[in-house]
Amino acid sequence: MAITGAASESGAAAFISNSTPTTLVTNGQGANLSLRLDKLLITNIDTSTAYHVQIYEVPSGGSISGDDYKILKEFDIKPSDGVFGTEDIREVAGMILENGDSLRALAETASKLKFHLSYWKES
């Protein structure tokens, strides 16, 4: 198996939900093929208030329950001022998602946080 190509997911047109965790990516390539996460950026569009986000790694067939599978607890995303307001969530860099595994996020407040995720596919 070899890492063969880059891909990305973006929440540019949609916000991270505050009620049901938003799936940022699910590895649906099939058995024995993984995704290696490269970079996760989360942007706060609010210009005055920081908001919390929670990031979860959920194994195939798993669910989010309490602190199960949470890889980050409440993480502040600073207000946007044209320069700040986008955070690089370095904790996911290099993470491997096996077939069926997913990366999910839950925002403190609706309609404030967007994301961009890049990763490499194995084939």
Each residue of 31-54: pLDDT tens digit? 889 999 999 999 999 999 999 999
| Length of the chain as a residue count | 123
Check if the beta carbon of residue 40 is closer than 8 Å to that of residue 88.
Answer: yes
At 31 the pLDDT is 87
**DSSP structural state of residue 93:** T
Q: Which two tokens stand for residue 73?
A: 């607890």
Q: Which two tokens stand for residue 94?
A: 């290099």
Tally of CB atoms within 10 A around 71: 14
> pLDDT exceeding 90 applies to what percent of the chain?
62
Domains of the chain, first to last: 3-122 (2.60.120)
Q: C-alpha 4: how far from its chain's center? A: 21
> Pick from 7, 44, 41: which is nearest to 119 by CA?
7
pTM score, whole prediction = 0.86
